[in-house]
Amino acid sequence: MEHELRADADGRLAECLVAPGEAVQAGDPLWRIDPLASPQSAEGADPGPAAQTPTEREDLRRWRERMAFVADAARPEAVARRHAQGLRTARENVADLCDPGSFIEYGALAVAAQRTRRSEADLIANTPGDGMVTGIGAVNGALFGPERARTAVLAYDATVLAGTQGMRNHQKTDRLLGIAHDQQLPVVLFAEGGGGRPGDTDMPIVAGLHVGTFAAMARLSGRVPTIGIAAGRCFAGNAALLGCCDLIIATRGSNIGMGGPAMVEGAGLGRYAPEDIGPASLQHANGVIDILVENEAQAVAAARQCLAMFQGVTQAGDPPEGALLREVLPDSRVRSYDSRPVVLGLADGGSVVWLREGFGQAVHTALGRLGGRAVGFVASNPQHLGGAVDADAADKLARFMQLCDARGLPLVSLIDTPGFMVGPDVEARAQVRHVSRLFVIAAALRVPFFSVVLRKAFGLGAMGLSGGGLHAPGFTVAWPSAEFGAMGLEGAVRLGYRKELEALPEGPQRQALFDELLARQVAQGAAIPMATTLEIDAVIDPAETRDWLLRGLAGARVREDRPARYVDPW
């Protein structure tokens, strides 16, 4: 090592008192300096450090040049092609998601593992980051503070080798997922890309089936919130990671599939355009996509809103006008209606996010806030199958309960159902197994559960929608319009009084008896008789529903004696 020795004062070196290589002791004089007789003339004066022109260190200059290739500005043609498709770059999406100045990037200098087939200059210029941007940034920091806002962000770069998964790319992913697991950070994944990449040659790998990326992503389920975003084409390995996420947000122009065109053709199944495989319209209808949006800007906004539901309590939003709930239901007890305004009439203004609306439409599921606290809303949908719960609706609700339970969100169920869907065609779809998930999952819930019966609550379906039975929730209350029964009341009359009805000729006389018996059943199964026998906890004014829920939430706690579990991908 070389060490600089400074003189105590200005002067000229008159004599060196030691020779090179000579050992010295602490305090030994090393030189003799003659003081200057007079200040140096301006002509020969040392200008001093302040007057010198600074020069950049060579290592710093090399770093700066290399980092220039990482930024979008260094690749204008690739960026232009991306924008021409109506899409954004990975870095543009990350910048939009994270609070300004908060993102710290991991692995920016990585390049594809293809040095045996491409030059170093080519790799630096054309494979920056090995096709992926990874790092940690703050999301919603203004609402929740820097600690709760920290989020792991992974964005496949479709402008680099079509966003495929290379070996360095996997290493970067594994690194960030490991940090997210250890530090319990939420994860947002921009998943666009073509899956595994066969062209990496620098590592002695045959199939690459040993990589831990997929297990690492799956390990986060139930431990931290995970949100996946798909725009453009998302196939194979990229789609597998997307499918592990708690929530999937996708643009209308996206395609999602476990195999892209090349894989389909390789399997001997024919040639298809990418747009023919897993279009967003299909994946929204079959339940893969939770939130369908127009573009990436809306996708990022939805991700921020959903992530906020898992980050903590906020200031209570504007309360809706509770009296409007008195007018939501139609006067006829058999008229269908849109139940979503009930949710909007309970939640803080502007807080509701509808999930999986294209699938299992007999129930609506949504995230929202009550008094600033995030909750999960479930609402029967009388406009689809009369609100009867079929296999799809049961799967949708079962997974939603798992999601809310994993994230500690209380559940509010708004019930108007004739029960579980029945019939030979329904049973052919394994209805028994699907609907029974509601009972099994609800029995293990850690989070508070509250039920409000709006109108019909019949049979096992009503029990499934109330967490296993009307006494399973923290409370079960009913609006005055509610009616209850072991099965649909019309059906109960037809079956229970078949003999009496068939004894009369078909026509007005038989119909009159039917109407009389049905009126009796409706009166017996009304809300007030149910409360009288303590089968429900109270009958309330619809306008007071929000206040009931707020008071229930005030004393509700997550049961810590029950461990959180993973969230089923389906």
Split at pLDDT 50, 70, 90, the class of 563 is confident
Chain segment 156-170, per-residue pLDDT in tens: 999 998 999 888 999
- Residue 135 has φ and ψ, to the nearest 5°, of 170, -170
Q: Which residue has the tokens 């139930």?
A: 222
What pLDDT score does 519 carry? 87
The CA distance from 127 to 263, in Å, is 23
SS3 label, residue 520: helix
**DSSP code at position 213:** H
CB-based burial label for 430 (10 Å; 0-12, 13-18, 19+): exposed
Question: What average pLDDT is seen over the chain?
Answer: 91
Split at pLDDT 50, 70, 90, the class of 253 is very high
pLDDT at 137 over 60: yes
Q: Which of 405, 420, 431 is nearest to 462 (CA)?
A: 420
What pLDDT score does 28 carry? 84
- Give the pLDDT mean for 52-57: 76
Which amino acid would we find at residue 225? P
Split at pLDDT 50, 70, 90, the class of 53 is low
CB-based burial label for 410 (10 Å; 0-12, 13-18, 19+): buried
Hey, where are the domains in the chain? 86-308, 322-482+526-554, 487-524
For residue 188, give the H/E element and its range. strand 187-190
Q: Where are the beta strands (DSSP E) in 245-372?
A: 247-251, 255-257, 291-293, 353-355, 363-370
- Give the pLDDT mean for 236-261: 95
pLDDT at 37 over 90: no
pTM over 0.85? The answer is yes
What pLDDT score does 217 carry? 96
Split at pLDDT 50, 70, 90, the class of 45 is low
The CA distance from 508 to 185, in Å, is 68
Please determine whether the domains at 86-308 and 322-482+526-554 fall in the same fold group of CATH.
yes
What pLDDT score does 51 carry? 55
Domain 322-482+526-554 has CATH 3.90.226.10: yes
The CA distance from 403 to 234, in Å, is 24
pLDDT at 74 over 60: yes
Which of residues 91 and 31 earns the better pLDDT score?
91
- Give the pLDDT mean for 376-392: 97
Out of 36-40, 171-175, 422-426, pick the least confident.
36-40
Split at pLDDT 50, 70, 90, the class of 42 is very low
What pLDDT score does 283 carry? 97
Instruction: Specify the CATH number of the domain 86-308.
Output: 3.90.226.10
Chain segment 226-244, per-residue pLDDT in tens: 999 999 999 999 999 999 9
What pLDDT score does 44 carry? 53
Out of 221-235, 404-418, 450-464, 496-510, pick the least confident.
496-510
